[in-house]
Structure 1
Amino acid sequence: MAVALAASQERFDSRGHLFMVADGMGAHAAGELASKLATDVVPLTYHKLVDLSPPEALKEAVLQANRYINGRGEADLEFRGMGTTVDTLVILPQGALIAHVGDSRVYRLREECLEQLTFDHSLVWEMRAAGHLSENEEDIPSFIPRNVITRSMGPNPEVQADLEGPFPVQTGDTFLLCSDGLSGQLSDCRIGQILGCLEPGEAAQALVHVANLRGGPDNITVVIARITGPQRTLDSPKQKANFENGNGTPRPVHPIIWGLLGILPSLGGVFALANSPKVALALLLAAFLVGCGALIYRYTKPHRMVFDSRPRGKGPYRQTLCSPDAEFIDWVRDLVNQLREAAEKESWHVDWQPIHPHQEAGETATRDADFVKAGREYLRVICQIMGQVRQRQTRNEPDRAAGIF
């Protein structure tokens, strides 16, 4: 995964905050390399393409990363055919942009509605789009594999990347980027309910722990970003999401030009002291002209092309109401009870003292029908237990908690 936050308001206005997940495929080493290359190349290339608008730069960054991954794979037989899924989210003043390849997902939780903003490039979703399958998961025939993806970065020199957005952003919106290890274990409703109960950091831990307990892989990737203030949002629905080439920021000037601006006046001074006023004057004039040219280049643009505000792509593709309710509390409390029983049966070395207050707070909130607080406290119980299990695992003790339900 990768997170690149803008270091200044000017940088945010021009390039925004970038969040990214990549889930490698193929042999273990090959998949890891492909995902690492993607998370290294995409953010770097996106920020280098300053003469392109954010939508153009984001898509071009993904295409260049794909060609680079493919080239590395073709150059080494061990990594040939390696690939990775990619989801890149950029939060700008104009809204949220997404570049997407594969079956990792980007969600947005707004109030009590979870929206899937990306289209799964999988066999099941492609067959649904063609009208060959219904939306009901239970109606999918058993002979149709659910884990076959139809598009990824790396195996081929060219790839078709989806560009979604800009989606309007408002204070309180929560964005989730995740690999299919999470979405394959938890329904959209459960994902949204957990997101709605916890702050981003705790929610990320809880989602991974719960997915692992339900049999998910160890390499689940989750990135969560929440909009916390109006300075990062497009709160006015009438404001247009327009992007311009250059985005109003100065263009970079080559270092050689800045070097000439230092060398030419110095040489002029040397020739002036050597009684060569004409040469000195010519050098100073050259420095003046170079400086003027550099300023003109830096602060003007060859053209300004304004893009229309119509969203790219067709997202959101799914919408799910996910308010925490009594049924959710029963589900998460059942997870807690099963986890406690497993801990006692398997004689895990768990320190229950810091856990009991969360359990009691969850029970009190349940009686008061405060389902958000109850969910929060029960999820904290799960995180506390699993956190201790993970610490034991780092000491090379067997991890018997993963996939016990």
Structure 2
Amino acid sequence: MRWEHPVQFASQSDVGFRRRNNEDSISVRICKEQESWREHGHFFLVADGMGGHAVGELASKIASETVPHTFFKSKPGPVANSLKSAIEVANQAINERGMANREFMRMGTTCSSLCLCAEGAVIGHVGDSRVYRIRKNRIDQLTFDHSLQWELIRQGRMKPEDVYLNEPRNVITRSLGPEPTVKVDIEGPYPVMEGDQYVLCSDGLTSHLKDDEIGMITNYLGPSDACRLMINLANLRGGSDNISVIVVRVGELPGGNLSEERNPEDMPEPDLDLAKSYGEWFWLAGVWGASLMVATGIAMWILTKFDQGEFLAFGGMSLLVMLLVRKVFSLRESSRHEEYLDKSKTVEWKPYRSERLKFNMDFLQYLTTMESELQRAAMEEEWTIEWSSHNKIYYAAKEELEKKKYLNAFRDFSRAIDILMTGLHSYRKEMVHQARWKKGSSSPPADE
């Protein structure tokens, strides 16, 4: 990576629907000077605290402040070593704070950090918060979950497909704070390519969104819209934990003026693989047609002894053989292409998990349904909504959908959902205040 590569990013942290306070913390440091970038690089961090009450919040805050502070104060050298040392210093600081106060004992936090520097992408990681990389049509998980389930998978005692069928979930085996020392996973440095995107997130997101959904949202929306949609979906699917997301995109080397954020309207419509599905139907029609020629020719030859029947049978058989041979070669080339893609998806390293991405029409339909349900609830429960702004975006999205401008429709439906979710948050907050007032307060509580 070079200093001239522009970096777009967005970050957001949400308390979720079931927690009273946010125990997640986020830190972003973009270097403003080339010398600072050469020595350390751009820095991003997500920390998910644990310990109950304000204890987890304190632990994640210490991590989000101590790690970047220590990292950028370190002497120039290998970024991996500086990052590892900074995380170890944060672990010691959290542990000492916990030991000094009985109420804070055993407090801890996850810590997933990313540095984009001259050496490439360097990751420092402890816990089950994750770092993903989206490159073209693939999403790769670059961090190993320090959780009980992932350890059982590594030991061969559990299959990956059985993870969501087993309890307990989210039991982490490593974190910052509980012990005086901690083992820090360092991944990289790995080469960075133009267009690469990185997602750092707490398990409040990954508990509700699948990898391919995270990849599709990040790939087809700008960083700000992607953060908002992912958090909105996590909340709509339960919001069982705090949700924190950072989306980072490495832009192209400047050839002129740089736009501050990629505009989805400038992206070409995604390939929906429609030609492939039609090709399958044409192939089947050809096979059935050739088979019918063979059957008709044989019947005519047996019953009438006409040369036409022999000609049809021979011609149909030849056509059928040609179709079958072509299909075999097509499948072989397809498998070779798949093998090439699998090898080229991460030439530099092997990710812990990887999945192919494509524009999913079912997911777009899911968004349209979710938007309609939210809109109906907003009207019935009288949420405070900026209806003029919403309706302008909503009807534009419907028109784009009819014109088969799927990418623009995807973007606008996500923004319409965000407007409705803002109203839902206000409505929920008002309901909480009214419930507290009904319990015996002499006057309604002030807004928090």
Superposition deviation, residue 339 in structure 1: 1.1
Equivalent residue, structure 2, for 1:156: 179
Corresponding residue of 1:351: 386
1:371 aligns with 2:396: no
Aligned mates of 2:169, 2:43 — CA distance in 1? 30
Map of 2:72 onto structure 1: 47
Alignment of 1:9 onto 2:9: no
Partner of 2:128: 103
- Hey, what's the Cα distance between the residues in 2 that align with 1:63 and 1:146? 26
Name the CA distance, whole Å, in 2 between partners of 1:399 and 1:115: 45
| Counterpart pick for 2:118 among 82, 90, 93 | 93
2:251 to 228, 239, 242: 228
1:315–1:157 distance in 2 versus 1, CA, 3 Å: farther
Q: What is the match of residue 185 of structure 1?
A: 208
Query: Which residue of 1 is the match for residue 230 of structure 2?
Result: 207
Q: CA deviation at 1:113?
A: 1.4
CA contact (8 A) 2:47 2:202 kept: yes
Contact 2:383 2:427 (C-alpha < 8 Å) held by counterparts: no
Q: Mapping of 1:319-398 within 5 angstroms?
A: 319-391=354-426
- Helix, strand or coil for the counterpart of 1:97? strand
Q: What is the match of residue 170 of structure 2?
A: 147
CA contact (8 A) 1:197 1:373 kept: no
Aligned to 2:150: 125
Counterpart of 1:57 in structure 2 is 82
Question: Cα distance, 1:382 vs. partner?
Answer: 0.8
Deviation at 1:361, TM superposition (A): 2.4
Corresponding residue for residue 192 of structure 2: 169
Q: Note the 1:197-346 alignment, pairs <5 A.
A: 197-217=220-240, 219-230=242-253, 315-346=350-381
Deviation at residue 391 of structure 1 after TM alignment? 4.7
Could you tell me the percent identity over the aligned residues? 40
Counterpart Cα distance in 1 of 2:105 and 2:38: 39
When the two structures are superposed, what TM-score results if normalisation uses the length of structure 2? Answer: 0.67
User: Which amino acid is the alignment partner of residue 191 of structure 1?
Assistant: I
How far apart are the structure 2 equivalents of 1:35 and 1:399?
A: 31
SS in 2 for 1:146: coil
The Cα offsets for residues 291-320 of structure 1, whole Å up to 9 and x where unpaired, read as xxxxxxxxxxxxxxxxxxxx9x96521112
Q: Is the 8 A contact 2:39 2:76 kept in 1?
A: no
Cα 1:49–1:399 change in 2 (3 A) is farther
User: Which deviates more from structure 2 when the two are superposed, residues 335-344 or residues 376-385?
Assistant: 335-344
The alignment partner of 2:409 has SS state of helix
Judging changes above 3 Å, is the alpha-carbon distance between structure 1 residues 188 and 3 closer, same or farther for their aligned structure 2 residues? same
Secondary structure at the counterpart of residue 389 of structure 2:
coil
Q: Which has the higher helix share?
A: 2
Q: Deviations over 1:54-86 (max 9, x none)?
A: 110000111111011101101100100000000
Matching of residue 196 in structure 1 with residue 219 in structure 2: yes
- Letter in structure 1 aligned against 2:423: Q
**CA pair 223-198 structure 1, distance change in 2 beyond 3 A:** same
Aligned to 1:26: 51
Equivalent of 1:84, from 102, 106, 109? 109
Conserved in 1, the CA contact under 8 Å of 2:386 and 2:419? no
The alignment's TM-score, normalised by the length of structure 1, stands at 0.74
Identify the residue that residue 307 of structure 1 maps to in structure 2.
Answer: none
In structure 2, the partner of 1:289 is: none
TM-fit CA distance, 1:386: 1.3
Per-residue deviation, 1:368: 3.3
Aligned mates of 2:132, 2:392 — CA distance in 1:
32
- Partner residue, 2:94: 69
Q: Deviations over 1:181-238 (max 9, x none)?
A: 000001111111111222111211111111111112462111111112337xxxxxxx
- After superposition, the Cα gap between the structure-2 partners of 1:179 and 1:354, relative to the gap in structure 1 and judged at 3 Å, is same
Task: Say if 1:107 and 1:177, in contact at 8 Å, map to a contact too.
Answer: yes
Tell me which amino acid in the other structure corresponds to 2:223.
P
Change (3 A) 1:122 1:99: same
- Change beyond 3 A, Cα 1:98–1:216: same
Does the residue aligned with 2:173 lie in a helix, a strand or coil? Answer: coil
Q: Are residues 397 and 145 of structure 1, via their aligned partners in 2, closer, same or farther at CA, if it must alter by over 3 Å?
A: closer
Tell me if the contact between 1:164 and 1:314 (Cα under 8 Å) persists in the aligned partners: no
Post-superposition Cα deviations, 1:36-63, rounded to whole Å, max 9, x if no partner, equal 0001110011112214421100001111
Displacement, 1:140?
A: 4.0
Gaps of 5+ in 2: 1-25, 255-345, 436-448
Deviation at 1:146, TM superposition (A): 1.4
Q: Which moved more, 1:195-204 or 1:174-183?
A: 195-204
The CA deviation at 1:362 is 2.0
Asked whether the 8 Å contact 1:26–1:83 carries over to 2, the reply is yes
- Partners of 1:69 and 1:122 lie apart in 2 by 20
CA RMSD of aligned residues (A): 2.3
Amino acid at match of 1:198: L
1:375 partner SS: helix
